[in-house]
Structure 1
Amino acid sequence: MTVPALPSFVEPCGHDIYAVDTGFHRPRFDAAYLVLHGGRAAIVDAGTNHAVPRILEALAALGLARDAVDWVIPTHVHLDHAGGVGLLVQELPAARVMAHPRAARHLVDPSQLWAGATAVYGEAEMRRNYGTLVPVPAERVDTSRDGLQLSLAGRTLEFADTPGHARHHHCLWDEASAGWFTGDTFGLSYREFDTARGAWLLPTSTPVQFDPEAMRVSVERLLARSPRSMFLTHYGRVGDVPRLGALLLALLDEMVALGRRVAALGDARHAALCEGLNTIYRRSLAEHGCTLAPEPLRQLLELDVELNAQGMAVWLDRESAGQP
């Protein structure tokens, strides 16, 4: 199809896939994906409520009516991926939501989701970044299962249950591009860290369900299909998948080793986790050829260091208590 001029926040990824920069946090930080085929569309991840106008504008620019969207598919219900689903489907009369079976109830009744995220980010931050969560009508929500295949006008999309970042996480295999929509399972890759060697990425252990053993199994499962591309919510399409997979798993092992070392430090543990994560990521970035100055580097890593440390603490406490 001939693609018209697109808004600056829409990036073609090939194979009729488009990344929509949702505007969350900073440019090229958070993506929603439009998958087009045969005049129909699916949306994978939806960002926050503030992303809805951008997604609708992207659809219009691509010549698609709102009733051409068949599916809205959040990879999981963390709010930077699914906070805008309820508001979005109000604008898409034909769309159904395909959610992980552990996630569906939180889209229908987001009160618990809101409370959990507020405990991490605080009420003021929640209101500013996410607005008011809109429930999805229960009759418009379907649940995935491992191996489930959807047909988007003949284009096969297949679900894989991928715990590790969250228990309610699924990834989506797109046969046409030989690529996975990975949500947060395959980590975070910010374009500011790209060098002549390509992309760099890091695992994400955001609270509260980080499970490193499950994450390793999920990542290895994604890699086993020999994908040509990974479509990351944070951020964009990346290739060179075997190298990135090895990097991701190596950094995951370092994070686990760090957690074991500082597990018993009590009140000093959080600071030790943050310091250790900074050391791990900065060393890896230096090896990758990153030459960013210290202050921009600190700013780019700061949020993920803090959230990863919080998530690791929850994992360590759960492990210490003998909880699954």
Structure 2
Amino acid sequence: MSESTFPKDSRLICIDGHDLGLVERTGSFVLDERPEGKVTIIETGPSISVPFIKEALNNLNISLKEIENIIVTHIHLDHAGGAGILLEECPNATVIVHPKGKRHLHNPSRLIQGAKAIYKEKFDTLFEPVIPIPEDRLREMKDQETLQLSLGRTLTFYDTPGHAKHHFSIYDNVTETFFTGDTIGIRYPSIERQGISFYLPSTSPNQFNPDDMLHSLRRIENIQPKQIAFGHFGISKETEKIYSEIRKWIPIFIDNGVRVVNKGGKWEELRDILMDEIKKELSSYGLEKDDSVYDIIDLDVTISAMGVMDYLLKNKSD
């Protein structure tokens, strides 16, 4: 089996898409129901992840012709940017997307514009190409709609805004897994292997809403899944720890953001404050100051600080 996949567990495989050229940054999930049912992929990552997906599928003896569903939790390019280019090689597949995201996969110009505003000159390297998807190969899933994969295995879709309005999360009844994209945060497996469980909310611009995020968290929590599958990255069975960490960090992000806004500060200042808070916490767990995970956390917190400031400035009282 390719090094880009984790061992198969109850018909669920995680593929490392090497987003941003990093290991364990962004993942895709393969649900294999052959021969009774279908092969489904959840998340494609950006276009640069597609070769890693194809390699893993080949090593799993899955033909691209056998892919029937390509599901994206939301349309941000690090989760869905590769959907168009992958679909071109999957003649029998349909891309499944939140109703508020469908038109943007058909015409990704606004997605591209938004990503360029954040990533600037790095955009081409990180995300090109972004291929429009024909309307007749797109399918919406509304709140609590289901997709039958095989006899006894069903995916149920839940509208879960907070990170983005065009975000759903998917519950798999066989593995009792919730695929949550970015709705309830980010997992850092490299430090988890050091015995440190640490999760942060993903509050990127421009649709972050803390109340919606907490409401979506409660919705997921009430289903009582056995495990959470993160877009960033992998699978965790520590569901209660995840919920408590996200509930803890959202107010920290917002309260510090309010203080920065009130004194006329910029997102860079908020980023630095949040990084100090995070380093203080992780050092209390014994994490070394030069651990490589800080490079990824710094990227996440940079984008999250932008999103918090965007939210607060939009909602600032006159």
Bin of the TM-score, shorter chain as denominator length:
over 0.9
Amino acid at match of 2:224: S
Question: In 2, distance between residues paired with 1:319 and 1:112?
Answer: 23
Amino acid at match of 2:237: G
Task: Give the alignment's TM-score, normalised by structure 2.
Answer: 0.94
User: Does the aligned pair in 2 maintain the 1:171–1:181 contact within 8 Å?
Assistant: yes
Amino acid at match of 1:21: D
Question: In 2, distance between residues paired with 1:82 and 1:148?
Answer: 20
Question: In 1, distance between residues paired with 2:299 and 2:280?
Answer: 18
Alignment size in residue pairs: 314
Q: Which residue of 2 aligns with 1:320?
A: 316
User: Does the aligned pair in 1 maintain the 2:84–2:132 contact within 8 Å?
Assistant: yes
1:282 and 2:279 matched: yes
Task: Give the alignment's TM-score, normalised by structure 1.
Answer: 0.92
1:304 and 2:282 matched: no
Could you tell me how far 1:13 is from its partner in structure 2? 5.3
Question: In 1, distance between residues paired with 2:57 and 2:254?
Answer: 42
Offset from partner CA, 1:12-40 (integer Å, 9 cap, x none):
35221111111112111110111111332
Could you tell me how far 1:195 is from its partner in structure 2? 5.3
Q: Which residue of 1 aligns with 2:230?
A: 232
User: Does the aligned pair in 2 maintain the 1:69–1:95 contact within 8 Å?
Assistant: yes
Q: Which residue of 1 aligns with 2:31?
A: 35
Structure 2 residue aligned with 1:134, among 124, 131, 135? Answer: 131
User: Does the aligned pair in 2 maintain the 1:21–1:29 contact within 8 Å?
Assistant: yes
Secondary structure of the 2:68 match is strand
Q: Which residue of 2 aligns with 1:15?
A: 10
Relative to 1, partners in 2 of residues 1:202 and 1:264: Cα closer, same or farther, differing over 3 Å? same
Unaligned runs of 5+ in 1: 1-5
Secondary structure of the 1:11 match is coil
Question: In 2, distance between residues paired with 1:290 and 1:307?
Answer: 26
User: Does the aligned pair in 1 maintain the 2:270–2:305 contact within 8 Å?
Assistant: yes
Relative to 1, partners in 2 of residues 1:197 and 1:226: Cα closer, same or farther, differing over 3 Å? farther
Aligned runs of 1:62-81 on 2, under 5 Å? 62-81=60-79
Question: In 2, distance between residues paired with 1:225 and 1:114?
Answer: 35
User: Does the aligned pair in 2 maintain the 1:251–1:280 contact within 8 Å?
Assistant: no
Q: Which residue of 1 aligns with 2:218?
A: 220
Relative to 1, partners in 2 of residues 1:271 and 1:57: Cα closer, same or farther, differing over 3 Å? closer
Amino acid at match of 1:128: T
Mean alpha-carbon deviation: is it higher for 153-162 or for 297-306? Answer: 297-306
Could you tell me how far 1:261 is from its partner in structure 2? 2.0
Question: In 1, distance between residues paired with 2:317 and 2:15?
Answer: 41
Structure 2 residue aligned with 1:205, among 203, 206, 214? Answer: 203
Secondary structure of the 1:255 match is helix
Question: In 1, distance between residues paired with 2:296 and 2:114?
Answer: 25
Q: Which residue of 2 aligns with 1:248?
A: 246
How large is the Cα RMSD of the aligned pairs?
Answer: 1.6
Question: In 2, distance between residues paired with 1:280 and 1:216?
Answer: 21
Offset from partner CA, 1:266-321 (integer Å, 9 cap, x none):
2x23233112211332233234x242224635423211121111111110111116
Q: Which residue of 2 aligns with 1:153?
A: 150
Relative to 1, partners in 2 of residues 1:321 and 1:94: Cα closer, same or farther, differing over 3 Å? farther
Question: In 2, distance between residues paired with 1:269 and 1:302?
Answer: 16
Mean alpha-carbon deviation: is it higher for 88-97 or for 10-19? Answer: 10-19
Q: Which residue of 1 aligns with 2:98?
A: 100
Question: In 1, distance between residues paired with 2:46 and 2:268?
Answer: 30
Amino acid at match of 1:66: L
1:271 and 2:262 matched: no
